Amino acid sequence: MSKEQKKPKISERRKFFTLLAQNAGLGVMGGLLWAGYAEKAKSSPLTLRPPAALKEDDFLKTCIKCGLCSEACYNRPGNIDKETGKQRPATLKMAKAEDDVTIGTPFFKPRDIPCYMCDDIPCVPVCPTGALDLTSVTNKKDHKPDPKMMDMGLAVVDTNSCIAFWGIQCDACYRACPLMDVAIKLEYDRNERTGKHAFLKPVVNMNACTGCGLCEHACVTEKAAIFVLPREIALGRPGAHYVKGWDKKDQERIKSRVNKDVTTHDKRSEQKPQDYLNMGVEY
């Protein structure tokens, strides 16, 4: 075989291995990018899920991303805009690539479209896997769905940006709340600056708030001064060694607690009380 005949075969081999390396590199890069995105989406702590959703880890394992909850939300009775006469968008959205949420899972943004707390909660019973647990929003007395049992999050008031705390009369969130005077109350307080006016401060009842977000949607400030957060973000944790003495369930919790030394140790704690009392604080 002549040298001229061998050259094409060598050239074809080089092309084959070059393309193979390129494709392998692209595959690895794509896998890394996807893994990075998936990790980022799953780690978003501010995602608000539909009513009756399981805890986030269990929800992601159970949800099959079918979109039936969003469809039921869109087709809910009375979902007509009174001004335009057209059907309003669904509260529940199915996450896309640009959302900071696991792709294909349902979520909602109250500032855009809040949950309207439908009487029959249509988005929950259509879930085929139990990712939305109907029993958690069913009243045991009449065995019917109860919107007041929803727990999507907790409304939090930013007292620095809420104009009601400036002394400007505003009760938009209070009037928008479907559980007025229960989930949100107005606290009257004297305005010392003017001496003539009263503050009407919105106060959220953590035990009654459902996290529907109607208050956030209605807030008149450019960036909502009241907003819904997942409860584990909105509420602090006092620590396992703090117990409510009046709560029997909380008292049961300490029976299985491992004994640990929770005493604060510092220079002052090493001294005896008579060493520092009436002598000022020394550190």
Q: Is the pLDDT of residue 283 over 60?
A: no
* Residue 259 belongs to a domain: no
**Residue among 198, 203, 207 at smallest CA distance from 174:** 203
Sort residue 53 into left (φ over 0), alpha (ψ -120 to 50) or beta. beta
Q: Is the pLDDT of residue 246 over 60?
A: yes
**Residue among 78, 77, 114 at smallest CA distance from 93:** 114
State the sign of the Cα–Cα–Cα–Cα dihedral 44, 47, 50, 55. positive
Whether the pTM exceeds 0.85: the reply is no
* Residue 196 belongs to a domain: no
| Highest-confidence segment of 7-21, 94-108, 207-221, 254-268 | 207-221
Q: Is the pLDDT of residue 241 over 90?
A: no
- C-alpha 274/C-alpha 283 separation (Å) is 15
Q: Is the pLDDT of residue 217 over 80?
A: yes
Transcribe 80-125 into DSSP letters.
B-TTT-SBPPPS-EE--TTSSS-TT-EE--TTTS-----TT-TTTT
| Highest-confidence segment of 32-36, 193-197, 219-223, 252-256 | 219-223
Q: Which residue(s) pair with 185 in the sheet?
A: 203
* Residue 57 belongs to a domain: yes
pLDDT digits (tens, 9 = 90+) for 249-269: 877 877 766 566 666 777 777
* Residue 26 belongs to a domain: no
State percent of the chain over pLDDT 70: 79
* Residue 216 belongs to a domain: no
pLDDT digits (tens, 9 = 90+) for 179-191: 999 999 999 888 7
Least confident of 156-160, 164-168, 206-210, 211-215: 164-168
156 phi and psi angles, rounded to 5 deg = -125, 135
Distance from chain centroid for Cα 157? 15
- C-alpha 167/C-alpha 165 separation (Å) is 5
- Name the band, by pLDDT with cuts 50, 70 and 90, for residue 28: low
pLDDT digits (tens, 9 = 90+) for 50-107: 999 999 999 999 999 999 999 999 998 778 877 788 888 999 999 998 888 999 999 9
pLDDT at res. 189: 86
**Residue among 127, 140, 110 at smallest CA distance from 209:** 110
- 226: Cβ–Cβ under 8 A, 6 or more apart, which residues? 155, 156, 157, 158, 162, 173, 202, 204, 215, 216, 219
Domain hosting 71: range is 35-149
pLDDT at res. 281: 54
* Residue 182 belongs to a domain: no
The mean of the pLDDT values for the chain is: 84
* Residue 164 belongs to a domain: no
How many separate domains does the chain show?
Answer: 1
Please give the average per-residue pLDDT across 132-159, as a whole number.
95
* Residue 80 belongs to a domain: yes
